[in-house]
């Protein structure tokens, strides 16, 4: 049977924050019924111009994580024009013909990245108006888009972007503040999911990371998941205040996106705000009525663009 062809584009909510491909109309974003690009990310999650970054992707499917797609990669070097409302310039989609292929992609941060996407005004081109420097996001960050196109999938192509945080100098601040910032600022590190517990309606708790076998859930049952963060997952860092006269400490927020191939979550997304100090996040899931194996993915992101994920398999049935 021939599948209809379509193109799936990773939905970008903010720099470093994504929620997978657009689901079918009326379908929860957390339900995986087709190939879905859940994350595209760089390691390390923040780098200086000239540093090398390794980009990877997480592709979900109804039969689990899929790692055999033909991936075309490249780094976008076109800043988004002011008139465009997308997260990236339209010229950055799709990848150029002949882009590097592979499961991962290594590329340096361009030496002029802080001019193209950061606080330094790029050189004025002959006959063109001057381009103003980019504004930082609420965490003071600037991001380089790296794009991937996953081709030859049974149901079509999938395109998505990583947003690699660039370490740029602090702009529009007094020299004493810049010196203090450079002393205190630590580049972003990825958050982590230490473990995930499944809690049945009767209160029985099972650690999915250490369970000796696939955990079974009765058809139609409602269970809770509790994902615990690694120590230091939410980092504290200085940000220049709105007046440009002082640095203020800001704590990262953490957001967890939940995905499953069947059943339904109460929330597609949970997390911890920058004002909270909780070390875990929870969600409730109702198992499907039919017996089957179900695949789960948890994708954790911090507000500075770091990413972590885990995947699990459950059996619905006796």
260-316 pLDDT tens trace: 999 999 999 999 999 999 999 999 999 999 999 999 999 999 999 999 999 999 999
ω into 44 cis (within 30 of 0): yes
Reading the block at residue 130, the tokens are 């001057």
For residue range 208-259, list pLDDT tens digits in order.
999 999 999 999 999 999 999 999 999 999 999 988 899 999 999 999 999 9
Classify the C-alpha dihedral 152-298-216-22 as positive or negative: negative
- Res 25: pLDDT: 64
pLDDT in tens, 18-69: 444 556 667 899 999 999 999 999 999 999 999 999 999 999 999 999 988 8
How far apart are the C-alpha atoms of 12 and 183, rounded to whole Å?
32
Q: How far is it between the farthest Cα atoms of the chain? A: 72
Name beta bridge partners: 152: none
Whose tokens are 């507000």? That residue is 303
The model's confidence at residue 98, banded by pLDDT at 50, 70 and 90, is low
3-state SS assignment for residue 140: coil
What's the pLDDT at 12?
44
3 state DSSP class of 91 = helix
For residue 153, pLDDT over 80 is answered with yes
């Amino acid at each position: 049977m021939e599948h209809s062809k379509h193109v799936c584009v990773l939905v970008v909510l903010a720099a470093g924050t994504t929620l997978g491909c657009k689901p079918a109309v009326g379908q929860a974003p957390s339900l995986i019924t087709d190939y879905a690009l859940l994350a595209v990310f760089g390691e390390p999650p923040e780098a200086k111009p000239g540093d090398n970054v390794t980009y990877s992707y997480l592709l979900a499917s109804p039969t689990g994580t899929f790692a055999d797609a033909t991936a075309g990669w490249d780094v976008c070097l076109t800043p988004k024009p002011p008139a465009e409302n997308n997260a990236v310039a339209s010229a950055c989609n799709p990848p150029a013909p002949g882009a590097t292929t592979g499961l991962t992609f290594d590329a340096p941060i361009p030496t002029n990245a802080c001019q193209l996407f950061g606080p330094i005004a790029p050189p004025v081109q002959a006959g063109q108006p001057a381009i103003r420097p980019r504004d930082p996001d609420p965490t003071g960050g600037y991001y380089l888009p790296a794009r991937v196109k996953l081709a030859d999938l049974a149901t079509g192509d999938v395109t998505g972007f990583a947003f690699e945080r660039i370490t740029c100098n602090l702009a529009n601040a007094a020299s004493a503040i810049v010196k203090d910032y450079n002393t205190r600022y630590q580049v972003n590190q990825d958050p982590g999911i230490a473990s995930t517990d499944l809690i049945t309606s009767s209160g029985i708790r099972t650690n999915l990371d250490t369970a000796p076998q696939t955990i079974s859930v009765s058809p139609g049952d409602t269970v809770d998941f509790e994902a615990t963060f690694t120590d230091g997952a939410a980092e504290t860092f200085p940000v220049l205040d709105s007046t440009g006269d002082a640095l203020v400490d800001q704590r990262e927020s953490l957001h967890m996106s939940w995905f499953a191939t069947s059943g339904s979550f109460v929330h597609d997304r949970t997390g911890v705000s920058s004002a909270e100090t909780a070390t875990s996040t929870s969600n409730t899931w109702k198992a499907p009525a039919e017996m089957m194996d179900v695949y789960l993915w948890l994708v954790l992101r911090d507000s500075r663009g770091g990413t972590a994920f885990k995947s699990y398999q459950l059996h619905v049935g006796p």
